[in-house]
Amino acid sequence: MRDFLTVDRVANQIRLRRSTYTGTFLLVEGSSDKTFYQRFVDQLVCELVETSGKQRAIDILKNLEQSNFQGVLAIVDADFDRLETLLHTSHNLLCTDSHDLETILINSPAFNKVVVEFGSEEKIAQFNPEIRLVLLENGMSVGYLLWISKCKGLNLTFDGIKFSKFIDEQTLQIDELKLIQEVKNKSQAYSLRDEDLQQQLKSQKSNNYDPWQICCGHDLVEILSIGLRKVLGSNKAVDVEPNSLERSLRLAYEEIYFRQTQLYLDIRIWEINNQPFRVLRNDT
């Protein structure tokens, strides 16, 4: 009930704001999303509203739409929605091209800039596989396990798992059995059988879904962080901790990269269909 009231309260605050503000309200999930999108938004005609989560952003949007509120747009992470053919019926709800905001950053030239900045040229040259592909290949194991947990209602906990417990520092390969055991321990889900989860993981991976829809960006950054300490660089853990790397990726991400995304095109289409409301600066 409290969540509903909070959503209702935020929606009403936006309604009250409309009496003095005629621009667009852009709903985003969290603070990092707000930091990212405000670089491309014309803040004279578009106000960003941080909603503290994907579902809350969707619920606030629905609340406003029920009263035919005009000039509101929500941008959320796609997560596994495209793989589940989950259809969002609102024209005022847009999703990231890939799994989340962080995968957009990694699947751009910003990634190369950060690797060059924090990595060792010699070590990177010796690391034969393409780094981005190695991250994807191994990040899929975590992503698929998360998806299995979601689909099967296992309620496994992934926040705070220690990647160092199941990743090879030299190859950045993930030991899936150790991954399962780490997640089970973190979740206190001792009744689940390792063999069953391994089989489910193998079955899901055989479907060969698009890794950019499976992998969680935070997981890829965790793997990169470990790589930059040893096999790709010689950094102290504190200098390449995941939150710091994500900030570096956001800083390295240029407007020209954003213009090449489907999300950018979707926002422009929304602007055309919702005149006179605007979101992006005219020079982007």
Q: pLDDT per residue over 201-226, tens digit each? A: 999 999 989 999 999 999 999 999 99
- Asked whether residue 99 carries a pLDDT value surpassing 70, the answer given is yes
Token pair of 182, please?
A: 């780490």
Residue 216: CB partners within 8 Å, gap ≥ 6? 99, 100, 102, 103, 139, 142, 143, 146
When pLDDT is averaged across residues 240-262 and rounded to a whole number, the result is 97
- Which band of pLDDT confidence, cut at 50, 70 and 90, is reported for residue 89? confident
When pLDDT is averaged across residues 11-27 and rounded to a whole number, the result is 97
| Residue 194: its H or E element | helix 194-205
**Which tops the pLDDT comparison, 85 or 110?**
110
Q: What is the pLDDT at residue 129? A: 80
Q: What is the pLDDT at residue 1? A: 42
For the chain, percent of residues with pLDDT exceeding 70: 97
Strand ranges (DSSP E) for the chain? Answer: 24-28, 46-50, 72-76, 93-95
For the chain, percent of residues with pLDDT exceeding 90: 94
- Which band of pLDDT confidence, cut at 50, 70 and 90, is reported for residue 4? low
CB-count burial class (<10 Å; 0-12, 13-18, 19+) for 199: exposed
- Measured in whole angstroms, the distance separating CA 271 from the mean position of its chain's CA atoms is 24
Domain edges within the chain = 2-97+261-273, 103-253
CB-count burial class (<10 Å; 0-12, 13-18, 19+) for 11: buried
Mean of the per-residue pLDDT values for the chain?
Answer: 95
- Asked whether residue 3 carries a pLDDT value surpassing 60, the answer given is no
Helices (H), 67-193: 101-106, 109-118, 121-126, 131-152, 176-187
